[in-house]
Amino acid sequence: MRPPQPQGPPRPESSEDASAQALAEALRSSFLIVRVIMILLVAVFLFSGFFTVGPQEKALILRLGRPVAEDESALLGPGPHWAFPYPIDEPVHIPLGEVQTVTSTVGWWKTTPAQEAAGTEPPPGPTLKPDQDGYLLTGDGGIVHARATLRYRIAEPGLRYKFDFSAASNAVQHALDNALVWAAASSTVQITRDSTPFREKAAARLDQLIRQQKLGIVVDQLAVEVKPPRQLAADFDRVLQAEVQRNAALADAQQYANTTTNQALAQAHALLSLAQAERKNLVELLSAEAKRFSELLPEYRKNPGLFMALRRAEALQRLATNLAECIVVQEAGPGQQRQIWLQLSREPQKIKLPEPPKTEHVH
Amino acid sequence: MKRNPLTIAVGVVLVLIFALLLFCFQVRKGEVALVTTFGQPTRQVGPGAHLKWPWPIQKVYKFDQRIQTTESKFEQVQTADGFNLLVSVYVGWAITDPELFFGRFGDSLARAEESVVDLLRNTYSGVLGRHPFSDFVSTDETQLKLAQVEQEWLETVQAQIRTNNYGVDVKFIGLKRLGLPESVTEEVFKAMRKERQLQATAIESEGERQASDIRSAADALAASILANAEAEATRIRAQGESEAARSLAVFQQEPTLAQFILDLSAVEALLKERTTLVLDTQTEPLHLLRGAGDHTNAPATNAPALGPRP
């Protein structure tokens, strides 16, 4: 903008001209600025329609408040996308792949993870206070503590989870609490020993609730922890000890049983072996004798008396060589003295006879 | 000043936007809108873009139509059989009739929630008082009536909400906690303690019994193994004897010889080791010694085989 030139006295026309010109020029340049700003604004407006969908999620575009489609075809996968800027389009991110976690502590005593880790939980009182101590009632009229951690994902397309619940994770939390209450109500205190049936019941009830209330989630994992009341820890331990003792006693008895049976089997085996041996001996002996008999029979038949006398004498002779000592006693006949002949051992008997053997006749 | 077409276009766009803002409104999924004309509800609309007359002629109220979950306090009720039970429930409810809802609560969700909880509290004794304690906890699943209790409760609450024209509907009701009055928990502990003691004793005695069963079974088994073995041994011996009897046929040809041979063998077997033999002179051939006392020289001459050796 040029400043008006001080050339003599200013004429009215020329001064009007100059000011109009100046105004026009000012307007023109400001219009230029406005135009640039407008183009920039439009560019920013359009550019603001870009959005990115993360790897663990999907997105859905609401056009004028309504989803562009009600099924999975409307879901946009991970990557950059463009939609009309608000208020025409509104991208809604749904964390479909992301694992969400809810924890139920309605059945657990009041504690914090820090206290638990440090072991500084306040000691249990003699009773359970309804406003502080969570617990579950079991079917057999007992009390147990139980808590659960549920890991779940949103089921595709996730519209129900996102648009039908003001806070779906709260609804899931309530369902988990309810599942624990139900599962405990039909269980016994025994679930403190083995929580598997309890977990299964809770999982079944949770599935039922997910279907009934159409929570639109998929259960990834349900972990439960069940404990007896802290007030009764010692009593529950005693039962465990009793079981350990019983198992030890049973193991002892089993060992005794094995030993006894094995001994009996060994003894039986020995008996049988002995019997077999005896049987074999008897059979062999008799068959040997029979063979000998058959051989001797012709001889015998020639002259039985002589044969037998010879045999006997021969046998006696043979036997005599083996005899340690032989005592011959003669029956005292009438008016006779009794006589005894002794043949003493040819080998010295160490204790009795240190001297060489002698034969003597005793009368 | 020259009229620029661009300026005109911008102007038109601006006017258009302004008009849209005045005459249009958008309802998002999960919401329902109620349009009032001079304060009177005239129309309700679902998700999408809609037209309206600008304020002050028409006004738009939007309501969250999603399910809200609310839980009640832990409260004591008496069961049909006189037990005191502490119960808390959660309830899922949603606005179904924005017009009724608007008439009753304006556009305040919080006030509605309060009313729902109040209404819920009033139904406690009516619903739970009809059931005995065993309907709530029982190891017998046929006795357990939690599903029925929840269903009855839902129906009762739904009916009351309808008669009260809240404009909301209860979608589900579930038990959130069941408990016992504080003083009763101590009694339960006593009972449980006693039960554990009984259980421990039972386990111990059962263990002893089982152990002694195992032992006596083992003893019996051992005895029967031995008895069987003895019987078998006897059988084997008998078999041996019967096998041996086959030899008898051979011996039958000359029993005297057989007897003689067997006797001889027996005697030989008997005298195999170092033996002291005591015989009398009746025995052959020692009968030769008989009368030795009559002949003074007899021993030396008549019994060279068995007599004293040098």
When CB atoms are compared, the residue of B1, B64, B206 closest to A246 is B206
Indicate yes or no: CB of B268 within 8 angstroms of CB of A315. Answer: yes
Residue B218 has pLDDT above 90, yes or no: yes
Interface test with A, best of B168, B204, B257 (most A CBs within 10 A): B257
Tokens 């808590």, located at residue: A147
Indicate yes or no: CB of B207 within 8 angstroms of CB of A325. Answer: no
pLDDT of residue B69: 92
Task: Collect all residues of chain A within an 8 Å Cβ-Cβ radius of residue B293.
Answer: 330, 336-337, 339
Does the interface ipTM go beyond 0.85? no
Interface test with A, best of B76, B225, B287 (most A CBs within 10 A): B225
pLDDT tens column, B7-59: 788 889 889 988 888 898 999 888 999 999 998 888 889 898 899 988 889 99
Residue/partner pairs of A218-221 with CB below 8 Å, 24 or more apart: A218/A152, A218/A153, A218/A154, A218/A155, A219/A150, A219/A151, A219/A152, A220/A99, A220/A151, A220/A152, A220/A153, A221/A150, A221/A151
Indicate yes or no: CB of A272 within 8 angstroms of CB of B207. Answer: no
A268 touches chain B (CB under 8 A): yes
List of residues 6+ apart from A41 with CB closer than 8 A: none
CA of A338 to nearest chain B CA: how many angstroms apart?
9
Interface test with A, best of B214, B216, B228, B239 (most A CBs within 10 A): B214
When CB atoms are compared, the residue of A165, A235, A300 closest to B254 is A300
pLDDT band at B285 (very low <50, low <70, confident <90, very high): low
Residue B252 has pLDDT above 80, yes or no: yes
Domain over B68-186 is classified CATH 3.40.50.2300: no
Interface test with A, best of B10, B29, B254 (most A CBs within 10 A): B29
CA distance B259 to B156: 112
Quickly list DSSP for B249-276: HHHTT-HHHHHHHHHHHHHHHHTSSSEE
Q: Which residue has the higher pLDDT, B23 or B301?
A: B23
Q: In terms of Cα–Cα distance, which of A121, A215, A127 is closest to A175? A: A215
Q: Which residue has the higher pLDDT, B190 or B305?
A: B190
Indicate yes or no: CB of B233 within 8 angstroms of CB of A271. Answer: yes
A336 touches chain B (CB under 8 A): yes
A48 touches chain B (CB under 8 A): no
pLDDT in tens, chain A (363 residues): 444 444 544 455 566 788 888 888 888 888 888 889 988 988 888 888 899 999 888 898 888 888 887 777 778 889 999 888 877 888 988 888 889 999 999 999 888 888 888 888 888 888 888 888 899 999 988 999 999 999 999 987 788 888 889 888 999 999 999 999 999 999 998 898 899 999 999 999 999 999 999 998 999 999 999 999 999 989 999 999 999 999 999 999 999 999 999 999 999 999 999 999 988 888 888 888 888 888 888 888 888 888 888 888 888 787 777 776 777 776 666 666 666 666 655 555 455 444 444 444 444
pLDDT band at B304 (very low <50, low <70, confident <90, very high): very low
Indicate yes or no: CB of B139 within 8 angstroms of CB of A260. Answer: no
pLDDT of residue A241: 92
A125 touches chain B (CB under 8 A): no
pLDDT of residue B153: 92
pLDDT of residue B176: 93
Indicate yes or no: CB of A346 within 8 angstroms of CB of B204. Answer: no
The answer to whether residues A55 and A97 touch, using CB atoms and an 8 Å cutoff, is yes
pTM over 0.90: no
A99 touches chain B (CB under 8 A): no
Ranges of each domain in chain B? 16-64, 68-186
pLDDT of residue A14: 64
When CB atoms are compared, the residue of B206, B247, B286 closest to A290 is B247
